[in-house]
Amino acid sequence: MTKFGKLPHKDLLSIAQLSGDDVQQIFATAAELKAKRAELNDLLAGKKLAMIFEKDSLRTRFTFDIGMQDMGGHAVFLDHRDARIGSREAVRDVARNLERWVDCVVARTFKHRAVVELAENCSIPVINGLTDYLHPCQALSDFFTLTEKWGDVKGKRLTYIGDGNNTCHSLIYAAAKLGTNITVCTPEGYEPNAKVINQAMIAGQESGSELRIMNEPKEACEGTNAVYTDVWASMGQEDEVEERAGLFREYQVDEELMALTDNGLFMHCLPAHRGHEVTSGVMDGENSIVFDIAENRLHVQKAIMLLLMNGEGS
């Protein structure tokens, strides 16, 4: 095992399962892997990653694949966009096959239950590469990038504007673990999941993080340190695109909203729809850190893979 150690979990399915210390361990590892990218090139020599994706991807697919190559390992991609996992054979049987061939699995699925079932039925680590419910690797990369920008994220405020979706849920969990205050502002009826809110409230009491849920964008952006948005209709909600475009119009992150912040950073998980949830001016503005976040997906996911696979097997 390398000096990087190991996370005390088999899988990474949700930030809810991590402690604040686990998150800091991921961040410290990511920082070192980033600083010594060329040098630390054999940490996962000979290891194999299976990538099973039911949905499109640019960033997640590339960064997991390149991340394995960077550390001397290899990734195999299974395009599952034509059929859900479990349609040809039971998810638990897929899991039992995969564990015989590879050392780790990253899965992007519609149903969150599918990644949980994969994880429960194999002995190797399973990483959530996005489900309808959560996007943990994204939120960890978002907060890692904020630590690079701010030093400490504790006591700062992040405002999320838009749909209370998978990305939003994982940001709420990450903020609660790290002591960051978070304001979530959605149209009525599109608020985040109640279970996520309740769990984050409890975790937030320990870390000192405040969670506010509201429907008024200007109030939500007043004096905040960063504004985050995501697409109004996520993958799988294509038939709601038009309806949501009308309902979410007032929630576009534009120059006027950004002017209310405390020189706030602009964040987006990408892909972005310019002219919808964000204006091009904000997306390309000097406070936009969207491509820094995309860059850090690589380093943070390398850290996650290393800390899950470190010392496992041969």
Binding-site ranges for ligand NVA (CB under 6 A): 130, 165-167, 230-231, 234-235, 269
59 interacts with ligand CP by CB under 6 A = yes
Between 254 and 273, how does the x/- string for binding to ligand CP read (CB under 6 A)? ---------------xx---
> Would you call the peptide bond into 136 cis, given omega within 30 degrees of 0 as the criterion?
no
45 interacts with ligand CP by CB under 6 A = no
CA–CA dist 253, 256 (Å, integer): 8
Please say which residue, 29 or 170, places its beta carbon nearer to ligand NVA: 170
Task: Out of 60, 159, 183, 296, point to the residue binding ligand CP (CB under 6 A).
Answer: 60
By beta-carbon distance, which residue lies closest to ligand NVA? 234
Q: Which of 141, 210, 132 is nearest to 164 (CA)?
A: 132
CA–CA dist 241, 112 (Å, integer): 22
Task: Out of 35, 58, 241, 259, point to the residue binding ligand CP (CB under 6 A).
Answer: 58
Minimum CB–partner distance for residue 211 and ligand NVA (Å): 19
Between 120 and 159, how does the x/- string for binding to ligand CP read (CB under 6 A)? ----------x-------x---------------------
Q: Count other C-beta atoms under 10 Å from residue 200's C-beta.
A: 26
Terminal Cα distance for the chain, rounded: 11
CA–CA dist 85, 90 (Å, integer): 8
Catalytic (active-site) positions? 108, 135, 138, 230, 269, 297
Please say which residue, 40 or 269, places its beta carbon nearer to ligand NVA: 269
Tokens at residue 110, please? 């519609």
Minimum CB–partner distance for residue 27 and ligand CP (Å): 18
Minimum CB–partner distance for residue 237 and ligand CP (Å): 14
Minimum CB–partner distance for residue 82 and ligand CP (Å): 18
Please say which residue, 22 or 240, places its beta carbon nearer to ligand NVA: 240
Long-range contacts of 90-95 (CB under 8 A, 24+ apart): 91/117, 91/118, 91/121, 92/117, 92/120, 92/121, 94/52, 94/118, 95/119, 95/120, 95/121, 95/122, 95/126
CA–CA dist 65, 104 (Å, integer): 12
76 interacts with ligand CP by CB under 6 A = no
Which one of ligand NVA, ligand CP, none is in contact with 109 (Cβ closer than 5 to 8 A by kind)?
none
Q: Give the strand pairing for 104-108 and 74-79.
A: unpaired
Which one of ligand NVA, ligand CP, none is in contact with 231 (Cβ closer than 5 to 8 A by kind)?
ligand NVA
CA–CA dist 47, 312 (Å, integer): 10
Q: Which residues bind ligand CP (CB under 6 A)?
A: 57-60, 130, 138, 269-270
